[in-house]
Amino acid sequence: MDIHDAVASPIVTGAPWKPGPMKSGKQRSAWDLVAAVFEGGIHLMVGCFVLGIVFIIVVVFVSDYHFSPWRGRLPAVGPRVPMPNVDAATLAAGQRVYQGEDCGACHVLTGANSQDGRHGAPSDRKARFAPDLTHEGRRNASIDWQIDNLRDHHRLVPNSMMPDYNDLSPTELRALASYLATRR
């Protein structure tokens, strides 16, 4: 068996193909091989196309029909939570507490309003193991929730490495919580 028999075997094309003259004396060309492969492979291509169309119909229509009773149970997306009304002095105090407690050692805080000295370069982000606080206000805009989280973090996240900040004064705690709640 030579290489031409392996390339264009009867399994692929439906008929053996050998280079050289045909019985009629005509020389076979590479286009004859392409035509033979196409004639044998067209069935496979059409089958894949039909199977793909059937798959799309099943995924789009049948799954839509099948899962439609669950749609009413999904929670509705509510309106965007408004940003807390915090004065500039409280935000500046919160930023000082953030820097003084060295929150930037574990957390990333990027953006125009993050002047904590460690802006979180791309290589630096991977080295930190705590959540990114850049958009903390989008996740938890409630200052009261932020205070509870800072005061008793282990109640919310039991195995967290983050310390509780019970040693901060109520003013410092509110300033830090306000600073985090306004990060958008």
Categorize the per-residue pLDDT at 182 as very low, low, confident or very high, splitting at 50, 70 and 90. Answer: confident
CB 36 within 8 A of CB 57: no
Q: For residue range 92-124, what is the model confidence (pLDDT) as tens digits?
A: 998 898 888 888 778 777 764 555 444 444 445
Q: Looking at the whole model, is its pTM more than 0.85?
A: no
Q: What gap in Å lies between CA 157 and CA 159, rounded to an integer?
A: 6
- What is the arithmetic mean of pLDDT over 164-171? 86
Beta strands in the chain (DSSP E): none
From the list 28, 165, 16, 170, the residue with the least C-alpha distance to 98 is 165
Q: Which of 45-49, 69-73, 108-112, 154-158 has the lowest mean pLDDT?
A: 69-73
From the list 168, 150, 169, 181, the residue with the least C-alpha distance to 85 is 181
Please give the domain boundaries of the chain with CATH numbers for all domains: 3-73 (no CATH), 88-181 (1.10.760.10)
**pLDDT computed for residue 181 by the predictor:** 84
- For the chain, state the CA radius of gyration: 33
- What is the arithmetic mean of pLDDT over 139-161? 81
